[in-house]
Amino acid sequence: MEELSCGWRLYIRPDRISLSSKIKISKIRLFTLATTTLLHTMCDVLPTTRPQWQKAINDLPSSPAKIPAFFFAHGQPMLVWPKAIAPSAGRFAEVYKTAGPDGELAQFLQDFGKALVEKYSPRAVVVFSAHWESSGRETLVTDYGEENPLLMDYYGFPPDLYQVKFKSKGDSGVAQEVVAALKEAGISARTTSISESRGMDGRNFRGPGLDHGVFVPFKHMFGDEMDIPVVQVSIDGSLNPAKESRQVLILSGGLTYHNLQEFAFTESGARPVHKEFHKAILEALQVEEPEARQQAMYNLTNHPGFRPSHPREDHFVPIYVAAGAGEEGQVKILGAMYGIISVAFGL
């Protein structure tokens, strides 16, 4: 009897087969080995349920010399949409089931954030968000001091969503380290303070702040108040930052589906071309050899499903930011749910 993957067993009954040579017996053994390999491949399921993603997260190495860089699904304002006023009909109601405060993304972020703190005890979090693109070629790094303000850059939502609270602090030393690392990588960069506006938000407030691609998921990941300093960095389409390895956690937030016109944020509402692009992303991430994986990821922008999934590339760029920061080493898919893939780079 041979024990196979996924609880399968292969029984070879000597009394039921007639073998006249060791060669034939060897063929049986080779068949058993091949069957084991095949079943292992078939049963190596990507994490799409809570037990599966919890295992993937828990399997991340603890206290490594270099903390991996992470691309994570940052969700949308629905993550903090109060249940008391939850949408009851229409397309928002369907998306709310998976993207709301009790949905699978919220559950993933809660498990993910807790593990990051326990495994890495970072002295700071450096975060990139799809919602902050630099104008021109200069990358901006927040240096907001004792309390990071919030920029509620979402519009037309119920008033309750503009009462969201999340408290965190900046760190001037870390901000300067990030600027220096970016300049060393050949990227023009500078800090930005609380006196410099990022634009107008949904409250008609014009000013600085962490955008909703940061504070919305961070509320689920780290709670309403965060002791670890947070520094946000703007992105552009060509950003490929140097990795900061001195116990700084690099998080790059976006979405692997973001089309507000089609609004196919659920797998049940997605067209085949969206699902094919989702599959192509997962396949590219699983390429073992780093250079081949890099090429496969670059090729995703030529996939027929890229533009239907991303009319603008802003929410897809962050996956390249994380891949660039963790380009040395292996990749681990932590969450493979449709449209909200999350990945560790540089293992």
Give 29-71 pLDDT, tens digit per residue: 433 334 333 334 434 689 999 999 999 999 999 877 789 999 9
Query: Quick one: pLDDT at residue 45?
Result: 84
Query: Quick one: pLDDT at residue 259?
Result: 86
Q: Are 225 and 174 in contact (CB under 8 A)?
A: no
> Which residues fall within 8 angstroms of residue 302, CB to CB, at 6 or more apart?
none
User: pTM value?
Assistant: 0.84
Helices marked H in the chain: 22-43, 50-58, 90-99, 104-120, 172-184, 212-222, 272-285, 290-298, 306-309, 317-325
pLDDT value at 223 more than 70: yes
Structure tokens at 331: 């990749």
